[in-house]
Structure 1
Amino acid sequence: MENRNKLLEVKNLKQHFNIGRGRVVKAVDGLSFDIYEGEVLGLVGESGCGKSTTGRSIIGLYDATDGEVLFKGENVHAKKSRKEKLKFNRAMQMIFQDPYASLNPRMTVGDIIAEGIDIHGLAKSKEERDNRVYDLLETVGLTKEHASRYPHEFSGGQRQRIGIARALAVEPDFIIADEPISALDVSIQAQVVNLMKQLQRDRSLTYLFIAHDLSMVKYISDRIGVMYQGHLVELCDADRLYENPVHAYTKSLLSAIPLPDPEHERTRKRIVYDRPTGGAVGKSSEDSSIPALREIEPGHYVSMTDAELEAYQAQLV
């Protein structure tokens, strides 16, 4: 992985919100990770852990409180000219969680998909514009006849396909998928994820795939980062995370995954995470007594103190 080019670098990202009366919510509090060209990084954790806020901060929907987000070496949150903003917006797109709320009900599907094409001047004529829309609809499993319809005429799964087509319309390099399947029926979720996998292979896309369903994230991701209370507590290859979960919170999440095996479900024991009563859970710090992401094996990072790292290494001897 280290030999591949870094497409995105997140460095000590903080996103704090002032909720009044001197109170501050630290939705993201010191997050650091890289995403390499052509990979899918899954980001998982319970509701409220800061996953979606991370995605929105990366794409610039929120101004970061602190830290840096570098996309192709350029700071996302630095002041940009209109031309620079257009270039960035074309290279990075987002698929939103709610396919019902993310599509303008007053626009036809064709106009929704073509909006980016129009803004970036990617079609020289109406005919070329329409043909691009038709091709995109077919790419996501719909037909050109759907272009003249309105969002309310489609199911949730179809609307999410429209959202994917809209993101693809400007030929981006990087797509943030913010819980793109959580609002869909289980039977439709696999279809959408399979479509995204196919598009990722065919178009050499890079994804940040945000979700709370660990089983689905494993299916699509090359690496997985586990978030808890605004921090990363574990980061490694998807298969390795399942084979050797180390952080107690990761073990808790994995223990909650149901399997289609009645005998397993009868005997399955849920691991309850013993939440820390105070202090940080994953900050980068030179203080060895504060948990920080530490590399326990090549490419496998876990939030722990120096003492916890020594104890873990002693178990391997």
Structure 2
Amino acid sequence: MRDEDYSQELLHWYDRHAREMPWRVGPGDLARGERPDPYHVWMSEVMLQQTTVVTVRDYFLRFTARWPSVTALAAAADEDVMGEWAGLGYYARARNLLKCARVITKDHGGVFPDTEEALRALPGIGPYTAAAVSAIAFDRAAVVVDGNVERVMARLFAVLTPLPTAKAELTDLAARLTPDLRPGCHAQAVMDLGATICTPKSPACGICPVKDGCQARTQGIQADLPRKLPKKPKPTRYGTAYVAQTESGGWVLERRPEKGLLGGMLGWPGTDWSEDAPPDSPPFDADWQELGAEVRHTFTHFHLRLRVKTALLPQDIALDARYHLLNETFRPSDLPTVMRKAFDLTRSDA
């Protein structure tokens, strides 16, 4: 099968089977002249990094309802955006989202640049996001490569080189198939194919629009591709979280440093997280009681086991300025997942 034949078959399939998503303008609406909103494309692509479509959908709808334009997002308070992002993970994305929105508003008059080069000059926009926004929002022939695309390319061309070593080879193959006409639809077609038919396990080859040209299927090795180098085992780190409430119902939290894991998020005071259990170091004097269970959470590069200690504080306690005492403004949903797990543990023990 020629490269252009792959592309045409994928576009024909996408026209009939494109997934409906709140940030996407479908092929029918595109044909009638509707154009994608670059703000929506950018927002969705940032949220979708390391996150599933099912999880992102509600976050995207909340964000765009509260901040309907890039200029509205640029004017938002940092803590409001971080609160809405809570639970979505990879919190540097939220910080970069704000930085990028403010640069677009200040330096570009609230209008997204339409080329990969200009998009990559913005904070928090890397090669993948720049290519995706350029192709989908502005229909430029950019090469969009995510995990779905890598899997489709590896199978179509029977690439035996394991990931991540094969990334450059798979990107070159994706570039060969990217057409000058409707490149945005083509990019979404390949991603949809990987998400719905050419799935990691048990690919549905019988209904694949390009099955006749799939070299891996011809060789009977499609389920074994792409190959991957063995992953290094994740280390386990340990720490303690101190969850304190006043007699009047206020909760004592602190905002984490801007840089580092969970940067800029509200959380419980606590020790460092290290591979050797750190010594007990309460943030202030109180009658701390240890719960009989621990929080277990997994980040990208390590597992975390977190002891939780609780204390009931007098209503008139004087706290250091670095702590935030939240009463009616406290929403557990504003906490990152690991901190919410600690809160839930204290509630279940109450």
Q: Could you say which TM-score interval applies, normalised by the shorter chain?
A: under 0.3
State the structure with bigger RCO (CA 8 A, min sep 6), 1 or 2.
1
Question: Which structure has the larger Rg?
Answer: 2
Task: Point out the structure with the larger helix share.
Answer: 2
